Amino acid sequence: MRFNKLKISADATSRLRSLRQRTGLTPNLLCRAAIMLSLEEGPVGGGTTPDEEGQEFNAYTLTGDYNGLIGALLRFVEETEPDLAVPLTNDQLVGRLRFHIHRGVATLAVRAKSPADVARLAMAT
């Protein structure tokens, strides 16, 4: 999966601000946790992707040294759909990554009130 910049939804950006205030964690770390939580829930499928009206991340800021790992996990989860005949394109993968961030941030917003909560969620997965 290759991308230089990724814009997330306005809703996810707003929730990340709130999460940052509660947990003290930076948005890129919260997004990484959100991606993992969402991937655990399973594929997002080909649904409508969230808007791109929110915060923009550079690829390295968002995924760090884990870009290859996150891309492989994303492919593993998303390409196991029974009706998927061909591998997803890079653009489709990036769109699904945005959706996983959106879904994961929504989960974090409900379940994480402190840094310890984020750690517990990460350990439970």
Q: Supply the mean pLDDT for the chain.
A: 90
Query: Given this model, what pLDDT does residue 69 score?
Result: 95
Q: What is the pTM of this model?
A: 0.91
Query: Given this model, what pLDDT does residue 7 score?
Result: 95
Mean of the pLDDT values across residues 83-111?
90
The CATH number of the domain holding residue 89 is 1.10.1220.160
84 confidence band (pLDDT: 50, 70, 90): low
Which 3-state string (H, E, C) describes the chain?
Answer: CCCCEEECCHHHHHHHHHHHHHHCCCHHHHHHHHHHHHHHHCCCCCCCCCCCCCCEEEHHHHHHHHHHHHHHHHHHHHCCCCCCCCCCCHHHHHHHHHHHHHHHHHHHHHHCCCHHHHHHHHHHC
Q: How far apart are CA 68 and CA 72, in angstroms?
A: 6
Domain that holds residue 23: 5-124
Block residue for tokens 């310890």:
116
Q: Are 32 and 66 contacting, i.e. CB atoms less than 8 angstroms apart?
A: yes
Mean of the pLDDT values across residues 77-85?
77
| Domain count for the chain | 1
